[in-house]
Amino acid sequence: MSEFVKLWAEIAPIGRADSGGYLRFALTEPELTLRDWFRGQAAQRDMTVTEDGNGNLFAWRGEPWAPGTVLTGSHFDSVPHGGGYDGPLGIVSAFLAVDRLPADRKIGIAAFVEEEGGRFGVPCLGSRLLTGVMDPVKAAALTDRDGVSFGEALGAVPTGADQRIGQMAAVVELHIEQGVALRRPVGVASAIWPHGRWRMDFVGVGDHAGTTRMTDRHDPMLTFAHTVLAANEEARLSGAHATVGRVQVEPNATNAIPSLVRGWLDARAADTATLDHLVDTVLKTATERAGRDGTTLSVTPESVTAEVSFDTTLAARLSALLDDAPILPTGAGHDAGVLSAHVPTAMLFVRNPTGVSHSPAEHASDADCEAGVEALARVLEDLS
């Protein structure tokens, strides 16, 4: 059994649901168990563990935050019933890559908190706090679906920006690829599409399903349905991606016209102009439709992430080092994208044979994961 297969088996059961997917939400029991596992791995390697005041966890070979350290790692948290590779692959691979490096290399391994925004709504919350692009007081007030705030889960208001991130020599995040574009075991990221999340509250008039005439209704579900179709059509027309994957309905009764439908629009595009046009068009269409339906729409942007172009010199260097590994963009968000504004940053992708991700069906082969470890070790050795 390879080192990768052995180490992977240690975390595979943690937080796995009957669906085969994972429920590893930030700072909940499975994610805390993974953090304990992280501390154990660090201890086995004589690495020093630190936590910043933002919920991010680090293991260091050399002094914590020593200038010139190369930082790697990823996240433990998952989307609801997400795959097991999205995030943890970058952390497991980091420990195995460190094992292959000369002992004098200054390396940090990070487990960033709440990368998916699956619990508190804002993705890459830990790296946004660390780099100062998220206000700690606002972050503390974000609540999960049970009304627990991030501040409560963390036990404190986050400490926010830490300038030491800018003294790292480089950041390299290894991640499973989340589409089908990568046809070799390992690739290098060029860019992350600009993307964001918009909460849409459609308010109508709750009433009786059996007695309210069709012409008398103010049904927000109708406005919502029209909006979902408009988002899909507009995204197709513009080569962008639009998804409504989360919805809440009140009172959520079979025999009641809803009083409220709350849906979250996830929109992404290769460039900012296309994304802006997509979102403007969808929200304008939704507002017009609300006028016809006698409902109202209010929109709250929950997070907007600008386009990321990774350091092209660094990407080319890593590609050359890895036998001309392909360089490709992605539509998925990553902590590395947030960090890239503050420190030279690169990402390595491991092939995903089906391209499926954010699903229990997400998969990568052991051989490709082992190639990923090997590639990460070569990169860390080269950069450190």
Q: Which residue is nearest to Mn ion (CB)?
A: 86
- Residue 333 binding Mn ion, by CB under 5 A: yes
Could you write out the three-class secondary structure of 211-271?
Answer: CCCHHHCCCHHHHHHHHHHHHHHHHHHHCCEEEEEEEEEECCCCCEECCEEEEEEEEECCC
Residue 293's binding partner among ligand GLV, Mn ion, none (Cβ under 5 to 8 angstroms by kind) is: none
Return the number of the residue (30 or 87) whose C-beta is nearest Mn ion: 87
Binds Mn ion by CB under 5 A, chosen from 15, 83, 84, 87: 87
- How many contiguous H segments (helices) and E segments (strands) does the chain have? 11, 15
Q: What share of the chain is helix, strand, coil (3-state, %, to 5)?
A: 35, 25, 40
Site track 186-215 with ligand GLV (rule: CB under 6 A), x = hit: ------------------------------
According to the binding rule CB under 5 A, does residue 86 interact with Mn ion? Answer: yes
The least CB distance from residue 20 to ligand GLV, in Å, is 19
- Nearest partner of 328 among 306, 305, 352, 344, judged by Cα: 352
Which residues lie closer than 8 Å to 164 by C-beta, 6 or more apart? Answer: 65, 67
Residues with Cβ within 8 Å of residue 98, at least 6 apart in sequence: 45, 47, 61, 107, 109, 380
Q: Which residue's structure tokens are 């990553």? A: 334
Cβ atoms of 289 and 243 within 8 Å: the answer is no
Return the one option of ligand GLV, Mn ion, none that residue 88 interacts with (CB less than 5 to 8 A, by type): none
Smallest separation, CB 332 to ligand GLV (Å): 4
Contacted by 337, from ligand GLV, Mn ion, none: CB < 5 to 8 Å by type: none
Per-residue x/- track, 32-61, Mn ion (CB under 5 A): ------------------------------
The binding track of 320-349 with respect to ligand GLV, each residue x by CB under 6 A or -, is: ------------xx----------------
User: Does the protein bind ligand GLV through residue 118 (CB under 6 A)?
Assistant: no
Which of 219/368 has CB closer to Mn ion?
A: 368
Identify the sign of the CA torsion 335, 336, 340, 342: positive
Burial class for 184, CB neighbours closer than 10 Å (0-12, 13-18, 19+): middle
116 binds ligand GLV (CB under 6 A): yes
Q: How far is the CB of 162 from ligand GLV (least distance, A)?
A: 23
Per CB under 6 A, does 123 bind ligand GLV?
A: yes
Told to check if 177 binds ligand GLV by CB under 6 A, we report: no
Vertex 174: Cα angle to 173 and 179 (nearest 5): 115
Helix (H, G, I), strand (E, B) or coil at 323: coil
User: Which chain residues interact with Mn ion by CB under 5 A?
Assistant: 86-87, 332-334
User: Which chain residues interact with ligand GLV by CB under 6 A?
Assistant: 116, 123, 332-333
